[in-house]
Amino acid sequence: MNRAFISLYSTIVVSVVVMGWGLNQFWETLAPEPTITPEIKTIFYLLEDKLSFQDKFGSQENQRAEYLQNLSKVLEVDIQLLSRDDLVESSRINLMQADAIVAAGSADAMIWYKRLPQQDKVLMLSVAKNHVLESPLYKILLIIFYVGMALVIFLWVWPLSRDVKKLEKQTRTLGKDAVPETLRISSASTLYPLAREFNHMAQRLRDLIASHRDMTNAVSHELRTPLARMKFAMAMLDAQTHPEKIQKQHLSIAQDINEMESLIGSLLMYAGFEQNSEQLQQCEGHMRALLTDICKRFARNNPRNITVDIIDYSGSAVFCCEWKLIETVLQNLMNNAARYAQTSICIGLEQTATEYRIFIEDDGSGIPESERQRVFDSFVRLYSAEPNSSTGGFGLGLAIVKRIMKWHRGDAFFAPPEQLSGARAVICWPKTS
């Protein structure tokens, strides 16, 4: 902040001084000298006669001063009677010795001098330069000054604006590690300290993501080896006859192994979605056909005979999406609904002028309103008194759903139930042009 303030302040001050001095010199060079018009000569001659007449009759100094003051008000000019000592010796004084009218000028007035004959007095007539503001040259120089100041400020702001756009672009554009690439800005830039800290933050994010990815992959893959050995041992035990108590323990261990395998698969899938890019290959198709296929697979693996109804409010209209990813979303939402449903699940297809929308609703106990946002976080599971509510799942399915919908520039959320009495999961994403 201090660096930017000092730089801008110094630039403006130097520009004002340089351009102001340069344009003033230019004006003084080109500005016309005050001319002695017949009107000015007439005023001087009349004043000279009047003052000479007053001297003959012995007028006092204060009377002459009052007369000149009143005349100045009438003519709207400044008239003064000066002593020769009040003027600086110059060539103009020598001209006045020849009884000539001498023209001069100042920043805000035009001035004429004339020495009174046989007196050590000089008559001065001053007219304000109100017409200077109306001069085309003055207006042109004024425009040049303001344009020059605007150009100087633009040249100062342009590198700053360019670096800000770089920073904005880098925050939107994700690199291959899902963090912005290194931001390259000149060390002379005002934003260089910010860019340096931005690059340090990006590097810390890369290290953190790499560590998380390596840990997830290592845990997931390394656990497969002991699990494979445990499955082999369990298979060997299946060929033998054991007492009923041991068989129960055997089934419990087999169930735990299956859950661990499912967890490893979910971890790998979640890690894969975290590292995936957001470049989607969207195409049009019939969502009703995909849902019908998912429902058929669900029916084959549905031990509780839960009924699934599809309500197509879209009129069999086509949907545009990344179909493999949307299939994963619908499969996860179906599994989640089946875990809590009592007897039925309802799936609805809708379209508006701007977006696609799908809802999946069950007749379970539902999700408390305070938990509807939190369930999309990783490894979050909700438990209830229902017999099947705490079995299966590891809190990653809905997190994957949320991530995929963000890639589609859409959203996933739970809304109050409308068709049944349980949870109503809704996914929506905008229509692509």
Range of the domain at 36: 31-134
CB atoms within 10 A of CB 10: 11
Tabulate helix, strand, coil % of the chain (nearest 5): 55, 15, 30
* 248 and 327, same domain (yes or no): no
* 45 and 92, same domain (yes or no): yes
- Which of 134, 159, 192 is at the close of a domain? 134
- Quickly list DSSP for 265-301: HHHHHHHHHHHS-S----EEEEHHHHHHHHHHHHHHT
Q: How far apart are CA 160 and CA 5, in angstroms?
A: 13
- What pLDDT score does 385 carry? 45
Q: Is 268 exposed, middle or buried (0-12, 13-18, 19+ CB in 10 A)?
A: middle
**pLDDT tens digits in sequence order for the chain, 433 residues long:** 567 777 778 888 888 888 888 877 776 676 655 667 777 777 777 777 777 666 655 556 676 777 777 777 767 677 777 776 666 555 455 555 556 777 776 656 777 777 776 666 777 777 776 545 556 777 788 888 888 888 988 888 888 788 788 777 777 665 555 566 677 777 777 777 778 887 888 778 777 777 777 776 676 666 777 777 777 777 776 656 667 667 777 777 777 777 777 777 766 666 666 555 556 778 889 999 999 998 888 888 776 788 889 998 888 889 998 888 898 899 889 888 888 888 899 999 999 889 999 999 998 888 888 888 888 887 777 755 454 444 455 677 888 888 888 888 899 999 988 888 889 999 999 987 5
- For residue 343, how far is the Cα from the chain centroid? 50
Of 361, 273, 358, whose CA–CA distance to 319 is shortest?
Answer: 358
* 270 and 312, same domain (yes or no): no
* 339 and 233, same domain (yes or no): no
- Residue 143 is assigned to a structural domain of this protein: no
Of 416, 394, 137, whose CA–CA distance to 267 is shortest?
Answer: 394
pTM for this structure? Answer: 0.51
* 95 and 223, same domain (yes or no): no
Q: Which residues contact 322 (CB under 8 A, 6 or more apart)?
A: 280, 281, 282, 404, 407, 408
- Residue 261 is assigned to a structural domain of this protein: yes
CB atoms within 10 A of CB 405: 21
Q: How far apart are CA 421 and CA 263, in angstroms?
A: 30
* 265 and 327, same domain (yes or no): no
Q: Which residues contact 173 (CB under 8 A, 6 or more apart)?
A: 180, 181
Of 342, 299, 338, 337, whose CA–CA distance to 414 is shortest?
Answer: 337
Number of domains in the chain: 3
Of 184, 82, 72, 178, whose CA–CA distance to 128 is shortest?
Answer: 72
* 87 and 49, same domain (yes or no): yes
* 98 and 186, same domain (yes or no): no
Q: How far apart are CA 213 and CA 207, in angstroms?
A: 10
Long-range contacts formed by 186-191: CB under 8 A, 24+ apart: 186/159, 189/159, 189/160, 189/163, 190/3, 190/4, 190/7, 190/159, 190/160, 190/163, 191/160, 191/163, 191/164, 191/167
* 268 and 303, same domain (yes or no): no
- Which of 134, 150, 182 is at the close of a domain? 134
* 287 and 424, same domain (yes or no): yes
- Residue 201 sits in a domain whose CATH number is 1.10.287
- Residue 166 is assigned to a structural domain of this protein: no
- What pLDDT score does 387 carry? 47
The one-letter code for the residue type at 224 is R
- Residue 266 is assigned to a structural domain of this protein: yes
* 254 and 288, same domain (yes or no): no
Q: How far apart are CA 302 and CA 389, in angstroms?
A: 15
* 287 and 408, same domain (yes or no): yes
Q: How far apart are CA 180 and CA 209, in angstroms?
A: 12
Of 348, 345, 336, 367, whose CA–CA distance to 428 is shortest?
Answer: 348
